[in-house]
Structure 1
C-alpha cells in the first residue's frame, strides 16, 4: 500500500493543504479536485476536512478498496465494508495503526478479550471526530458519484442503490450528533467552577508563586486575560495586531475582524476571526498592560519589527523568535495551566465562561433578555439569525424552571 499523508505548504503567502504519496506527489487527481472545492473556506476548515479525508482514504486503501473505481463502476461500498469503516472511525488513529498487542504470555482467552475490549474503549474518539469522518466519507462518495454519473440519466436501479447507501450513512451521522445532547447539565453548574477560575486568575499573574511558566509570564498573562475579558476565539487572539488596539479615547476597545489570507503573516496555519467584525471591550487597566508589553517586552525581542502582530514567540528553540505566536503554542500554554490547575481548560472554555459572566451581569443590571441576546450576538460576532444564543437561553430557562419548581414545592410543603 502506498503512503498517504497530509502536506501543508505556502505559495505567495497563502496556505494550502494537499494529500500526497511517499514521493510528495498529489495522491490522486480526484482527491485533489475534491479538496479544491474547499478553497473558499478558512484554512483551518480546509485542514480539518483534509485530515478527515486522509483517514477515509487510508482506511479503504488498507482494505484494497479504490473509492473512485467503486463509484465509477456502480459497485459502491457494501454494508459490511461500510460497517468496518464505521468501526475503525470510532478509534484513535494510533490504536488503528498499532492494534497488534502482544498477549502471548496470557493464556486465558477470556482475559485477552477483556483486555482488548478495554483498549478499544480507552481509544475511542470524540463524537465530533467520529461524525466528521463519517460525514467526509459520505460527502466524498456523493462528489464522486456526481462526477461519474449523469444525475438526470443515471440508471434508476443504480441511483436507488446509491441513495440507499447515502441514507444509511447519513442516519448514522445524525445519530452521532444526537449523542452529544444526552447529558443533561445542571443549570447551576459552571463550565469552569468559580474556585478553579479564581485560582486560574491568581496563578496567571506574573508575580504569582503558583505561576507554572519559567518565561513569557507577561505575554501568557495577557493572552489569558484578553480571552476571558472579551470572549474572543483563539484564532482572533492570535491575529491581533498593534493597530487593532484603540490606544486613545476610552482606552478599552479592540477591533476584531476577518482578514483572509494576510500576506504579512508568515505562519503556515494562519489564524483568523471566524465570525462577524465587532469591537471587543477590555478594562483600561488591561489595555495599559498590553501597551506596556508592546513597548517594553515585545520591542526588545529580535525580528518583531517585521510584522504588526501583538503576541510573539519569545524563544528561539526552532528559529521562531519574534514571529507571531502559533495556535499550537497557545494550546501548549493552556495545557500547562491545565496541569497546574488539575482541571482541563482551553481557550474556547473561556469563551463559555465569558457568556456565563455576561448573563449574570445582565441580570444584575436588569437588562431585558431580548436586548441581552442582541448584545451577546454582537459581542460574540454572531449574525442576527444565529441560533448560538439558544445554548445560553436554555441554561437560563432551566435555572428559572428550577427556581419556580423549588418555590412551588416550598409552598406545598408548608401547607
Structure 2
C-alpha cells in the first residue's frame, strides 16, 4: 500500500493504491478527495499517510472495518486500546513482521518490541499520535455515514460508534511538562542569530562574491527577500501570480491569495496558502526588482507565457524551463544556502525570524494591538492563538533580560 498524488483534469488527487496502482478501496479514495476536499493538497497527503497507518493496522489484525460497520460493531475496547498503543510507535516498528506474529492485542509484546528498537527511536511525537487517532476517528465516522446514511442509524449502532470514538480519543497524548518547558525556553531564543541572519542576507545578493549560485541569482534573491520582508509561507511565494503584484500607485503590495486546487496550476505538487487571504507590504525598490525580473528575465522563456506564476524554472534539465517553480526547487535553494553559511535555514524559520523582528518593532504596543497586527500580517484567522504564542516570545525575552541582569548582580557580589 502506498500514497500517490496525480493530476486529474487539472486537479491534484491523492489515493492509497496497491503495487499495481489500483486504489485499495472506494471508501478511502472518496474520503481523501471528496470528504477532505476543503483541505490543501499537502494536508490531504498528510491525512493519507495517517489513514495508511490505520488501514495497515487493520490488515495486520485481520479486521474488516466495513463488515464491522455494517454489523454495527465497530472496534472493541481492547482493539481501541491496542490501536492507541500502536499509534504511539513508528510505523516501520509497530507494523513489522515480528510484531504481527505476536498476540495482536498484547500490550506486553508491543512494549517488548518498543524496548527492542529503543524507546527513543521507536516512539513518535505526541502530535503524530494525535493526528493518527483523529484521522482514524474521522474515517470510522465517514464509513458509518456511508453505510448507514444520515439520521437513520439504529440506537445500538450509534451507541457502539460513540463508544469506539470515545475510547480512541482517550488515546490522544499530551505534551509532557518537560517538553513544554523546553519549547517555552526556546521561544526566548532567536530562531536565527543576527550575525548568521545578516550573513544570509549578504550572500543572497546577486552581486555578492560569496553567492553560492551559478544561475538564477536574481530569481533566488527575490524569493528569499520576499520571504524575509513579508513573513509569508513558501507556498504563497510559489503560487504568487503577476496579477497579485500591485505595480501601480505606490507599487508596494502583493496579494496573498487562497485558491485551493488552482485549475491554472499544472504542477503535480501544487503550492497552497494555508492561512486567510491578505495583503503584504513590499518595499517599492523590491517591487521594482520583481517587475524587472518579470519583464526582462522571465519573459525570455516561451513556456512562461502559458501561465501567470511569477517565479519559474530557468533550467532545461527536464524540459521544464519556463514552468512554474516547484516547491522542491525552493527547498533546494535553502539547502544550498544552508551549506554556504553552515547553518540550517528553511523557509518556515524565516517566518519565525520575521515574527521575532515584528515583536521588536511593536514593543511599544499593547499585546492586543500587536496581536491584531500580527494576525493580519501572518494571515491568521480571528480565533487563531498563534499571535498570542509569539507575544509570549516578547514576554519570555523580557523575563530573560530581567533574570540576566539580576543574576549578573548576584554573581558580581559572590565572586
- Segments of structure 2 that go 5 or more residues without pairing to the other structure are 99-112
1:389 aligns with 2:364: no
**Match of 2:185?**
185
Matched-pair contact (CA < 8 Å) for 2:231–2:350: yes
1:361 aligns with 2:361: yes
**Match of 1:103?**
none
- Cα 1:412/1:333, change in 2 over 3 Å: closer
CA apart distance, 1:353 = 0.8
CA apart distance, 1:187 = 5.0
1:18 aligns with 2:15: yes
**Match of 1:5?**
2
Matched-pair contact (CA < 8 Å) for 2:231–2:354: yes
Q: How far apart, CA to CA, are the structure 1 residues paired with 2:196 and 2:409?
A: 36
Q: How far apart, CA to CA, are the structure 2 residues paired with 1:403 and 1:29?
A: 58
Q: How far apart, CA to CA, are the structure 2 residues paired with 1:302 and 1:316?
A: 12
The 5-angstrom pairing of residues 162-201 of structure 1 reads 162-175=161-174, 181-183=180-182, 184-186=184-186, 188-201=188-201
Matched-pair contact (CA < 8 Å) for 1:95–1:123: yes
Matched-pair contact (CA < 8 Å) for 1:131–1:176: no
Matched-pair contact (CA < 8 Å) for 1:236–1:271: yes
**Match of 2:372?**
374
**Match of 1:277?**
277
Deviation sequence 1:348-390 (CA, Å, 0-9, x none): 1111111111111222xx3444322222121111233332211
CA apart distance, 1:244 = 1.6
CA apart distance, 1:250 = 2.6
The 5-angstrom pairing of residues 83-122 of structure 1 reads 85-86=83-84, 88-93=86-91, 116-118=116-118, 121-122=120-121
**Match of 1:32?**
29
- Cα 1:397/1:160, change in 2 over 3 Å: same
**Match of 1:59?**
57
Q: How far apart, CA to CA, are the structure 1 residues paired with 2:5 and 2:381?
A: 31
Deviation sequence 1:313-341 (CA, Å, 0-9, x none): 12223322211111222222223333443
1:47 to 45, 48, 66: 45
Structure 1 stretch displaced more, 166-175 or 351-360 = 166-175
CA apart distance, 1:116 = 4.5
TM-score (structure 1 length as normaliser): 0.82
CA apart distance, 1:204 = 2.1
> What RMSD, in angstroms, separates the aligned Cα atoms of the two structures?
3.4
- Segments of structure 1 that go 5 or more residues without pairing to the other structure are 101-112
Matched-pair contact (CA < 8 Å) for 2:276–2:379: yes
- Cα 1:146/1:245, change in 2 over 3 Å: closer
Matched-pair contact (CA < 8 Å) for 2:362–2:370: yes
Matched-pair contact (CA < 8 Å) for 1:19–1:26: yes
SS at 1:352 equivalent: helix
CA apart distance, 1:140 = 1.4
CA apart distance, 1:283 = 2.2
Matched-pair contact (CA < 8 Å) for 1:192–1:353: yes
**Match of 1:71?**
69
SS at 1:320 equivalent: coil
**Match of 1:351?**
351
Deviation sequence 1:142-168 (CA, Å, 0-9, x none): 333444458776455x65555444333
Deviation sequence 1:140-199 (CA, Å, 0-9, x none): 12333444458776455x655554443332232242598863423155411122222122
Q: How far apart, CA to CA, are the structure 1 residues paired with 2:97 and 2:342?
A: 31
Q: How far apart, CA to CA, are the structure 2 residues paired with 1:391 and 1:214?
A: 40
CA apart distance, 1:18 = 2.3
